[in-house]
Structure 1
Amino acid sequence: MTNDVDVAVVGAGIAGLTAARELSRAGLEVRVYEASERVAGRMASVRAGGSTIDTGAEQLSPRGYQATWELLGELGFRADDVPPIGHPIAIRRNGQVHNGFGSLRGLLTGAGMSVRARRDALRLRVPVDAERPERSSLGLTTVAELARRHHPEVRDYLLQPAASFCLWDVERSCAAVLLGMQRAVGDAANWRTYRDGMDAPCRRMAEQLDVVLGHPVREVVADRDRARLRTDAGEVTARQVLLCVPAPIAAELHANPPREEAEFLAASTFTSALKAAFPLQEPVQLPGRPYLLVTPRAEEDVLAGLVLDHVKHPGRVPAGRGLVTALPNHERTRELLGAPDAEVISQLAGAVRRYLPGVETGGAVVHRHPNALPEATPAALAALPRFRARPTGPVDYAGDWTTPRPYSEGAVRAAALAASRALSRLGSPLPV
């Protein structure tokens, strides 16, 4: 197959589909190649047993997601398509559930920390620009290095649990990115979710685009004025290729990246994610009715957290039923990522019952993302300015890892930038 196109987009996650949509609207011939059999990537949702299960991303904020909300408006999403969750995030400490984690109110009222620790935590409110976190006073300081400057409770019940939300190793990831993200998105008490699953915007965009599913790209080679894609069905040539996949995959695919790109690709490592969704015969609750329970490493050696999906959005499950998703911490994720589903379910079911005694945990569904979230390491942050300054060539990139925003807003912003760079290079569609 040698179908020439203006732009070939590799990856049908929110970055790839957003970039493809922008370039298609500009009149270019765009085709999206997706290795899996469904769109949305790390925002994918699956439907099983009458439930909608988010395999990756869980929520979004009314703050810090400006590009995302603009995109949703253009796609025709209404307010009730992205309803507020309306329930808090809680943290577990000494056998007690404390609401208010991730919110200023929770910080002021305790959320599991002593008065002395809360006072010390206020020192974390340093100015950090989410767009340029490396320019903050924190520089390339890791989360662990920052934690060592503060009260132990700040480390154990604030910084480490917040980092575990990204499945980060606190010794490897930059504090400026974490604090910049928290400052941008604001109070977790205001978060929202998509009524029909986190994949809703991707599904809506894919309906309007030329998307080829189950079609992996094996290699991308940049020529002087175009690029070649090698697929199982043959070679495709394009005036522009956009690699809208996690950095480790982009590094494997791109055969001849320029030096400044290769350096950043190598530095942009990712964490892995593993989830097990347990259908319940009835909807259970935790004290205070949180939808998410954060389980700090100081108290729990298996889980990073529990999501009560039927609390997050009751319409996600059949009436009178429940759904709980267990997320192991990054250490246990590494151990279990390649294990059989039965072993994953057994270990996580035991952890779930510690917090929800007596629940039946049969029929669980396991989801894996080997490349789930950018780690935001000091090496990646140091290489980012040179990557930003790269010239536009026939192969370019989009994804949350190309910005210091390791969440879907970063992917949408990166897609808009990649589309703009492609248009500045191509200028106009191919002549018919």
Structure 2
Amino acid sequence: MDLDVAVIGAGIAGLAAAHELARAGREVRVFEAADHVGGRMATRRVSGFVVDTGAEQISTRGYPHTWELLRRLGLDDVPKIGRRLGVWRQGRVRPGLAHPSGLLTGAGLSVRARLDFARASRGLAKRSTADTERPEASRVGRATVAEFCAPYHPDVLEYLCQPVVSGFFGWQPERSAAAPFLALLGAIGPSTAWRTYHRGMDVPARALAARLDVTTSFPVREVLAGPGYARITGDGAELRARSVVLAVPAPVARRVYVNPPEHERPFLDACAFTPMVKLHLMLDHRPESDVYLLAVPRSESPSVSVVLFDHLKHPDRAPEGRGLVTVIASPAVAPALLDATDDEVVSALAAEAERFVPGLRAAVTESVVHRFRHGLPEATPNALALRGEFASRLGGVVDYAGDWVTLTPYSEAAVRSGRRAAARVRAVPRRQPA
């Protein structure tokens, strides 16, 4: 036997799984297709700028597994962001999104919409709609985000829920289920609880990788489960492992795992991902803003869903006196931009973002485009309906880790799923294959 446990994917889910297994005395090797670790929590360092290509922040609420892991790693430099979020409406920024003051200031909502949102929030609290581990148990059922919002003032969808799910998850509210979104809102709390890592969002991934046996630039082509082992093929090599944890997006897992059990296939097939395209613009000065993150509704822009002032999120994201602005493409255009050239992405998004940051293009000194073909789990009603059966029977020779396992698109779900996968692997007695 070549390996005890192989973890495929060095994102935070795979690294968390490997860390738990190594602490339990298992021999673990992590394989990563990219030339770096972090996955959708990766950070690039370019000309003195710290560019978070994926996740942007965590919260002091709703991240218990993450905070436990950080304490274990001795990572305590996770400062409060301390800046507000806003919504663009009718030519200006409306601060207060995801903030307690939003119900008073409006945060882009009309008075009637604010009242409707308060009524909806009270109803959700009374009904205990769901938790982030079992979104399919929500009393909201399989309703999409748009269907959930239908009884309320149109602003609740168009200037609150749609900008949030499209900007943060890449979702279209008519396609994705409301239950995971509502569970996540309840878990992470207001923006006053949000924090970001000093030196970049990949800090925990790099700290974990430094303690583990990680092989980068090793794309796995095929995983074949056998009796008591799995065969891994990739990069001209063939290995056998007693256990494999597939810590990759569901569509990738479905492609490389050639013989998953019949009961796992329906959910794997249904678990689609939304693409994400981010444009990072390095600037010759630091533009001021009342908010560090501006959500742009689809009714206000056809191509931009978020404008993020990274130098306001944390001052170390840009050299002193310089600015860093990130523009996130809307779900309407992201699929087409996946295969566009970098110049085409810059042209399309920077021109539109100028509406929200006057003088933006003239201030750009350098740009970075990052594309995630598998950005975040789409959490469709069909996938939600199939998730419970899938989750109840996990624990084979080949297991899974990732935020998609619970259809909850945030990094805590990835960390938690990695730890749970490790526990299932540990529960299987080690034995040599026949």
User: 1:391 deviation in Å?
Assistant: 4.8
Match of 2:326? 325
Superposed counterparts of 1:16-415, under 5 Å? 16-78=14-76, 81-125=77-121, 126=124, 127-130=128-131, 131-164=133-166, 165-286=168-289, 289-359=290-360, 360-415=363-418
> What is the identity, as a one-letter code, of the residue corresponding to 2:188?
V
The answer to whether the 8 Å contact 2:136/2:387 transfers is no
Is the 1:163–1:170 contact (alpha carbons within 8 Å) kept by the matching residues of 2? yes
* 8 Å contact kept, 1:349–1:361: no
Please list the CA deviations of residues 41-81 of structure 1 after superposition, one character each: whole Å capped at 9, or x if unmatched: 00000000100000010000000001000000000012xx1
In the aligned structure 2, how far is the partner of 1:391 from the partner of 1:405?
A: 17
Question: Helix, strand or coil: the match of 1:363?
Answer: strand
Can you list the C-alpha shifts for 1:237-257, whole angstroms capped at 9, x where unaligned?
000000000000000010000
Counterpart contact for 1:33–1:215, Cα < 8 Å: yes
CA distance in structure 2 between the aligned counterparts of 1:347 and 1:187, rounded to whole angstroms? 32
Distance 2:382 2:359 in 1: 46
Q: Deviations over 1:338-359 (max 9, x none)?
A: 1011010011110121111123
Deviations 1:318-346 (A, max 9, x none): 11110100001011111211101101001
Shift of residue 186 of structure 1? 0.5
CA distance in 1, matches of 2:157, 2:394: 41
Partners of 1:124 and 1:41 in 2: how far apart? 35
Cα deviation, 1:130-164, whole Å, max 9, x if unaligned, reads 22222222100001111222111111111111111
- Aligned partner letter, 2:324: L
Q: After TM superposition, what 4+ stretches of structure 1 lie above 6 angstroms from structure 2?
A: none
Aligned to 2:423: 420
Measured after TM superposition, the shift of residue 285 of structure 1 is: 1.1
* CA apart distance, 1:169: 1.1
Secondary structure at 2:183's aligned position in 1?
A: helix
Separation in 2 of the partners of 1:145 and 1:302? 24
Distance in 1 separating the partners of 2:92 and 2:355: 12
State the secondary structure of the residue aligned to 2:333.
Answer: helix
Alpha-carbon separation, structure 1, partners of 2:15 and 2:35 = 15
Q: CA deviation at 1:388?
A: 1.3
1:239–1:426 CA contact under 8 A, matched in 2:
no
Whether the aligned pair in 1 keeps the contact of 2:86 and 2:96 (CA below 8 Å) is: yes
Q: 1-side partners of 2:160 and 2:418: how far apart?
A: 32
Query: Does the CA-based 8 Å contact 1:89-1:189 persist in structure 2?
Result: no
- The separation in 2 between residues aligned to 1:179 and 1:348, in whole angstroms, is 29
Q: Quick one: which amino acid aligns to residue 221 of structure 2? A: R
Structure 1 gaps, min length 5: none
Match of 1:148, as an amino acid? A
Shift of 1:105: 2.1
Larger deviation: 419-428 or 34-43? 419-428
- For structure 2, the 5+ residue unaligned runs are none
TM-align CA RMSD: 1.2
Q: Distance in 2 between matches of 1:119 and 1:356?
A: 31
How far does the alpha carbon of each residue in 1:333-386 deviate from its partner, in whole angstroms, 9 at most, with x for none? Answer: 112111011010011110121111123234211001100100111111111111
Query: Which residue is 1:5 aligned to?
Result: 3
Alpha-carbon distance, 1:102 to partner:
1.3
**Structure 2 counterpart SS, 1:326:** strand
* 2:37 alignment partner AA: V
Contact in 2 for aligned 1:306/1:326 (Cα 8 Å): yes
TM-score by length of 1: 0.96
Which amino acid counterpart does residue 393 of structure 1 have in structure 2?
G
- Cα distance in 2 for partners of 1:72, 1:192 equals 13
Secondary structure at 2:33's aligned position in 1? coil
Please tell me the residue identity of whatever aligns with 2:87.
I
Contact 1:225/1:239 (8 A) holds in 2:
yes
Which SS does the other structure have where 1:291 is aligned? strand
State the shift of 1:427 in Å: 5.0
